[in-house]
Amino acid sequence: MRLGHVIGRVTLSKQDPAYKGGRFLLVQPFAQAQFAGAPMTPLAPGSSLVVYDNLGAGPGHVIGFTEGAEAAMPFHQPTPVDAFNAALVDQLFYNPPSR
Amino acid sequence: MILARVDGVIVSTVCHPSMVGCRTVICQPVDEAGRAEGAPILALDPLSAGQHQQVLISTDGSKTREHVGDPMSPLRNIILAIVDEPAKETA
């Protein structure tokens, strides 16, 4: 699971029925600096990705998303999903050892 | 399996039902000498690892689904072990 900033929405006119009840979000994964509290840079190096969401996240939120085969586990039928939003993050405590 | 150091914790109210009640920590993958390697990841922490403790993380979802008792859980990373003698950072 990784953390990311929601930076946008993906709107579809036609979609696989398996996606019903959710939406797709454009997410910029956290780099090391964002964990330490640096503001999000919308077009940071590293690719943003599209995440399936059924929790109700929107632009500006911080989410925890999973990738790989597990992203498709919550669906009842085999569904092509690469990333799944598992948590809306309320608070983040990050204290790397100082040296 | 990933060797990592626990660097923080997240709080989430709205989450997948399988995550409810599970402590989720921010883990920094480290190399054999204890140096940070790559961006931090999240993992379930059933062992209640302490801050800056080194842990072993499994990235295989089957153990995680067994732990949370939900065969449809999307979660992958789970802490399986706490390292007794962490690798020392050299230089």
- 3-state SS of A46-98? CCCEEEEECCCCCCCCEEEEEECHHHHCCCCCCCCCCEEEEEECCEEEECCCC
Residue B88's pLDDT is 67
Question: Model pTM?
Answer: 0.90
Q: Compute the average pLDDT of residues B48-66.
A: 94
Partners of A97 on chain B (C-beta within 8 Å) are: 5, 7, 52
Q: Compute the average pLDDT of residues A53-81.
A: 93
Comparing CB atoms, the residue among A2, A31, A66 nearest residue B75 is A66
Question: What are the tens digits of pLDDT across the range A8-61?
Answer: 999 998 988 889 889 999 999 998 888 888 887 766 666 889 999 999 999 999
Q: With bands split at pLDDT 50, 70 and 90, how would you rate the model's confidence at B89?
A: low
Residue B24's pLDDT is 96
Partners of A71 on chain B (C-beta within 8 Å) are: 74
Q: Which of A59-63, A73-77, B23-27, B86-90 is the least confident region?
A: B86-90
Q: Compute the average pLDDT of residues B43-70.
A: 94
Nearest to A16 by CA among A41, A49, A70, A52: A52
DSSP state of B23: -
* CA separation for the pair A65, A84 (Å, rounded): 5
* CA separation for the pair B76, A73 (Å, rounded): 11
Q: Is the pLDDT of residue B73 over 60?
A: yes
Pairing between strand A91-94 and B2-11? antiparallel
